[in-house]
Amino acid sequence: MSIYDLNVTARDGSEVSLADYKGKVLLIVNTATGCGFTPHYEPLEAMYKEYRDQGFEILDFPCNQFADQAPGSDDEIHEFCQVKFGTEFPQFKKIDVNGENADPLFALLATEKPFEGFGKGFKNKALEKLAQANNSKFGEKAYIKWNFTKFLVDREGNIIARFEPTVDMDDVKKAVAAAL
């Protein structure tokens, strides 16, 4: 199965085929408005502005499964992102990325590029413990460990990288530039 075989739900409830993005480099992200990583919206938007004319898209999927950090409605979340960070990239309907109701896109992404850890350091170890406690209820379907996990997809639909939220955004940008 390819990501191009899947549909996702737009904020307005309409279905969007990921095949519409064939030929583009994609960065697919699960997000939250009340997370310690919410400031990632700023470098994401800067990347989007810099590279969108080269065939780059960011697909933003809000998720409230991590310590209830995205409690608002789809419209409230969208307004927050536009006002606070000036986001222009596509933001989709809030979804689950773990458990029985996990969106098939994130199940596919995480199966192709599984979690390999948050990295070294005290903060990363603390996040790993928090994530383990939060995600223990999802068992084998704990696909995503925390908000702002990013997946890089090349122009042919291949999932080429996974970036945990602890990865420096400059490293994400370098990988995006290389994929373009």
Catalytically active residues, by annotation: 35
* Strand order from edge to edge, sheet including 25-31: 56-62, 25-31, 150-153, 159-163
Which residues, at least 6 apart from 25, have a Cβ–Cβ distance to it below 8 Å? 51, 54, 55, 56, 57, 152, 153, 154, 155, 176, 179, 180
How many Å apart are CA 153 and CA 131, to the nearest integer?
Answer: 25
The three-class DSSP label of residue 179 is helix
C-alpha dist (Å) from residue 108 to 37, 113, 159, 160: 23, 9, 9, 13
Q: What angle do CA 60, 144, 128 make, to 5 degrees?
A: 120
The three-class DSSP label of residue 91 is strand
